[in-house]
Structure 1
C-alpha cells in the first residue's frame, strides 16, 4: 500500500509520474510479479522492480517520457543476461521479467489513484487495469486462489495488465497469546494480512498486538471461522491457550474452504484433539487435511522460533496451495542471429 500512497501524494502535488509494474517473471529474476516503481520528473524514484542498472535505465526512460508528454502505455520483456536474443536489462542474474509502463497524469488519473488507495486502506477488492486506454479501476466478479492476482493478457496484438488489489496473502491466527503475537509480527513482515482471534479481549498479548490488521474477540473459538473474510485465500493457524480451545477452533474451521489449517501441539496433544473431534461427530478424514504439528521440524522453543518455523512452512507450501505463486524456470538463451 505504501507505493500507491506515495504515488498518490506525488500526483496531488500536481506533477505527473512514470510508472513501471512487473507483470511476470521467471525464477532468478530480481524483479518479481507485483513489484512497482515510479519516476518523478526530476528522476527520483519510489519503489523498486529489481534495482541496479535496469532501474537506472527505467528512470532515464521515465524522465524522457515525462518531458516529451506523449508516452503511450506499453510493456517490455527484459532478459537478465549478456547474450542471446531479446532486450537486455543490464543485469546478468538469469531469467527475465515483463514490465508494464505508463504515465499517470494528475488531471486524468488522480481520482483512480485515490480510489486505489481507499480500497487498499479498507482491504477491499478492486481490479486495476492498464492498457492502451491508460489506467482504470473496475470490479472483479470472482476472486479465487486458482487465478493469478496479477496477469498480462495478450490477444491478437492487444494487451491488458490486470492486478487484483486485495492481498491474497492472508492468515487467521486463532489464539492471541505469546506465540500468536510473535507469529503476527513475522507474517506481517512477510506481507500477510493478519487477523488474530481470542476469547480474552484484555490479555496484553492481544491488546498490544499492533502487527495484526484485525483483532477479533469471540465468546467461543468455534465462532472464529465465521468472522474470516475471504476464507478461500486464508491460512488458519490454531494456537489457543489449551487443547480444549484448539478443538473448538477446529470445529469452526475444518469444513471451511481454507487452503491451509494447522494446529500446534505435541503428538499426545494431537491424539487427544483427534479423540475429542471424533466424539463431537467430526469425520476423522477431515483431520487428515490439517497440518499437525504445525511448522517445519526444527529446534523451536521460544515464541519467536516457533513463529519462524510456522512461517517457513507457509512459504514452503505456497506454490502448492497457490500455483500462480510459482515462477516459471528461465529458458536457455537463444543464440544471436
Structure 2
C-alpha cells in the first residue's frame, strides 16, 4: 500500500483549508480529501507515477499549481518478464513431461496388446499346421498313391492329376498364410513392393491396367500394421478386378506425419448402393474383414462411388500405430504438434 501525507499553512482558519489530489495514471479526475491530509493507494503495479495535490484557502481560492511528487515502483520478482517467461517454460515442460509419461504408458499398453496378438497368431498358426495342413498333406499323399496305381491311359487318373495339382497349390497358399501369421519381423519396407507385385499379377491375368503411387517420405511400417494394410489392399484389388469391370486400377500410398493413408481407385461400374449401405454383401466377409483390419490399427475405411464412374476405397490409420519409428522420435513429433497448438491458441 502507498500512503502520501500532505498539508498547507493557513493561520486564520486552518480547518477550512480544502485539498484535492490526483495520482496520474491511476485517478481519472481530481479527488476531494474530505478533511483528510493523506491519500492511500493499493495494488499499484510497477512503473513511474506522479502525485499532484492542490489546496484552497478559507476564501475558497484554489492554488492551481499545487505540489507534485514523482516516484517509481520497481517490479517484484514475480512481476519481472524473465520470471514469467521462466514460469511459462516450466509449465510447458511440466505439460510435456506429463504428455511424454502418458504417451509412454499408452505405448507400453499397445506393445503388450500387440505381443498378445502376435502370440495368439503364433498359437493359431501352430495349431493349423499340426492339424489342418498335416491332415490335408496326408490326404493328398494318399490320393497320389492311388493315382500312381492307376494305368497311365486311365481316364480317372487324368481327372485326378489336375485336382491334385490344385490341391498342392492350396497347400502352398496355406503355408504362405501361416508364414504371414508367424512373421514378427518388420516388413514395412516391402509393403509397396508386395502390393505392386500382387496388382501387376492381377493385371497380367485379368486385363485392367495397374498403377501404384507412393506419396510423401517413405517410412518403415511395423509388421502387424503391414500385415493388415496388405490384407486390406489385396482384398480391395480383388474386388476391383473381379467386380468393377474397370479399365484402370490404382493404389496410392500416402505417408504423412500424423496419418498413413491408402487409396484404391478404379474406373469401373461403381460399387452398388446396397453394398455401400450394408458395408458388404450378405454371406460375404471381404469388406467386413477390411473394416476389422483397419479398426484393429485404430483407423477406418471409407468406400465411395466416383464420378462419373468407378469406386474409391480410402484407408486412414494413425501414424503412431503404423510406423516403426523410435519412441523418442514419435514423442518429439507429438510435443512439437502440442506446442504449435498452444502457440496458435495464445496468438488468438
* TM-score of the aligned structures, taking structure 2 as reference length: 0.21
* TM-score of the aligned structures, taking structure 1 as reference length: 0.22
- Higher share of residues assigned helix: 2
**Which protein shows a greater Rg?**
2
